[in-house]
Amino acid sequence: MSSKILKVGIMTREEYKKRTIAIARGKYKPKRGEPKVWFESLQSMAQVLNNENQGLLKVIIEKKPDSIKELEALTGRKSSNLSRTLRSMARYGIVDLKKQNKAVKPIVKATDFKVEFGLSSHFA
């Protein structure tokens, strides 16, 4: 499997709001290659990409389960917990949840992550 890099940025909610307003007003144009996925803190990124969830992504890549139920059997994690975790990862573009018949098949979209963050405001 080839690696798919997801660029993620870290920016406070307040900064993200300023950025969005600046873009809407035409005062800021996102640069080419700028992250499209943003976390509000390193902690929030760490919650989504913790060791347990990285292991989950590896199981999906290696075993290619056809459903969350199958993934539950492979990992020993309850389907309600898996669904919540996978939905969160899907919001950030890390996985895709493909509806297939009556099941939902998890597909890993990002295998590697580049993180960008700065300490100065660009959108004042």
Per residue in 96-110, pLDDT (tens digit) is 999 998 999 999 999
E strand map for the chain? 5-10, 37-39, 95-100, 103-108, 112-117
Q: What predicted TM-score, i.e. pTM, was given to this entire model?
A: 0.85
More confident residue, 54 or 122: 54
In the chain the domains, ranked by start, together with CATH numbers, are 5-117 (1.10.10.10)
Strands 5-10 and 112-117, bridge-based pairing: parallel
Per residue in 25-83, pLDDT (tens digit) is 999 999 898 998 999 999 999 999 999 999 999 999 999 999 999 999 999 999 899 99
